[in-house]
């Protein structure tokens, strides 16, 4: 049976799963809305994979994203890595000499700088909503324009208006004002794209030199208006990969393959059938010392599978059922 590798990226907005073959080719990708229920989204994704791919052999599994530790407990992972590492590995697989990676997701954004194939600097923005996918979705809904067409409107603009883009609240107010003064939808949307690009560069790049090749990924990479605004501002070509929306999960799959090949150990993946178990999480406030750590406990069919969050290991080092 041919070996396959599973990558999982659990974020605040989306939960992504990617299955790759021995040649690192993506044979299946799933993009699901997390909707504040990461366990439900992940188990749903695993069930879809089982139904569509059948009884394939998963030889390695990796997790990333803000919910990577939880995903590791639910699915069973051979490696757990942060988003910077996962996105970098995936990007280098597609463009080996990539120098800058720009990623804009549903609720956050990041920029990664590489030199000689190694991450030399990065920055993340998890505070400001301006420029994220959720903000663009909101503006598209408010203007009654399908988000898939938002970029096309921007490219039709002949005279883009300037929008205040340093704050999501101010940006929306400015857009409303420009609508009330008679500016066209195309010019307002183009102005918004340019404002969000300025906001991204001033918050994350912070005056650093952006060198090509540049890869643009995350859900917002599908917006051709934002891509065009970046290219105009930087004077550089932005490369959008085929799997721009699941690059974190793709990187996790690549990392999983590398890990199992190196260790030559059986995978820790529990199998697709594990998705049909009953999962429960709860938090425990430890009063053993002044730290008062919040310990997260995960139970599977009523049995404790994992605990984490304590600083001393009092809880996480306890023997738990697997």
| Domains, the chain, ordered by start | 3-87+247-276 (3.30.420.40), 96-244 (3.30.420.40), 277-322 (no CATH)
Read off the pTM: 0.85
User: Does the pLDDT of residue 321 top 50, yes or no?
Assistant: no
Buried b / exposed e over 42-56, threshold 16 CB at 10 Å, is: bbbbbebbbeeeeeb
Q: Which of 101-105, 118-122, 164-168, 256-260 has the highest mean pLDDT?
A: 256-260
Mapped onto helix, strand or coil, the DSSP state of residue 264 is coil
**174 or 190: whose pLDDT is higher?**
190
**100 or 207: whose pLDDT is higher?**
100
Tell me how crowded residue 123 is: count the other CB atoms within 10 A of its CB: 15
What pLDDT, on the 0 to 100 scale, is given for residue 159?
Answer: 81
Q: Are 52 and 144 in contact (CB under 8 A)?
A: no
User: Does the pLDDT of residue 322 top 60, yes or no?
Assistant: no
Average pLDDT over residues 133-148: 78
The residues, ordered by sequence, that sit 6+ positions from 147 with a Cβ below 8 Å of its Cβ are 136, 137, 140, 141, 223
Share the mean pLDDT of the chain: 87
What pLDDT, on the 0 to 100 scale, is given for residue 96?
Answer: 95
User: Does the pLDDT of residue 304 top 90, yes or no?
Assistant: no
């Amino acid at each position: 049976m041919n070996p396959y590798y599973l990558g999982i990226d659990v974020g605040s907005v989306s939960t992504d799963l990617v299955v790759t073959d021995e040649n690192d080719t993506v044979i299946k990708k799933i993009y699901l809305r997390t909707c504040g229920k990461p366990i439900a989204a992940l188990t749903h994704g695993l069930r879809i994979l089982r139904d569509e791919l059948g009884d394939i052999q998963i030889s390695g599994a990796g997790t990333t994203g803000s919910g990577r530790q939880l995903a590791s407990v639910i699915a069973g992972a051979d490696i757990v890595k942060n988003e910077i590492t996962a996105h970098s590995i995936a990007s280098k697989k597609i463009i080996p000499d990539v120098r800058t990676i720009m990623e804009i997701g549903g609720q956050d954004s990041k920029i990664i700088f590489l030199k000689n194939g190694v991450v030399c600097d990065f920055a993340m923005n998890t505070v400001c909503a301006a420029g994220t996918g959720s903000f663009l979705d909101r503006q598209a809904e408010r203007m009654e324009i399908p988000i898939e067409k938002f970029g096309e409107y921007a490219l039709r603009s002949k005279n883009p208006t300037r929008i205040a883009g340093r704050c999501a609240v101010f940006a929306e107010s400015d857009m409303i004002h420009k609508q009330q003064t008679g500016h066209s939808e195309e010019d307002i949307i183009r102005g918004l794209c340019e404002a969000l690009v300025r906001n991204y560069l001033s918050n994350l790049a912070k005056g650093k030199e952006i060198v090509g090749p540049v890869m643009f990924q995350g859900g917002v990479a599908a917006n051709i208006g934002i891509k065009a605004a970046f290219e105009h501002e930087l004077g550089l070509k932005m490369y959008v990969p085929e799997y721009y929306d699941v690059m974190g999960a793709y990187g996790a799959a690549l990392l999983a393959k590398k890990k199992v090949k190196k260790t030559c150990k059986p995978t820790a993946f529990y199998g697709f059938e594990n998705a049909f178990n009953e999962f429960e999480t709860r938090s425990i406030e430890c009063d053993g010392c002044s730290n008062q750590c919040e310990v997260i406990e995960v139970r599977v069919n009523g049995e404790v599978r994992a605990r984490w969050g304590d600083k001393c290991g009092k809880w996480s080092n306890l023997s738990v059922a697997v």
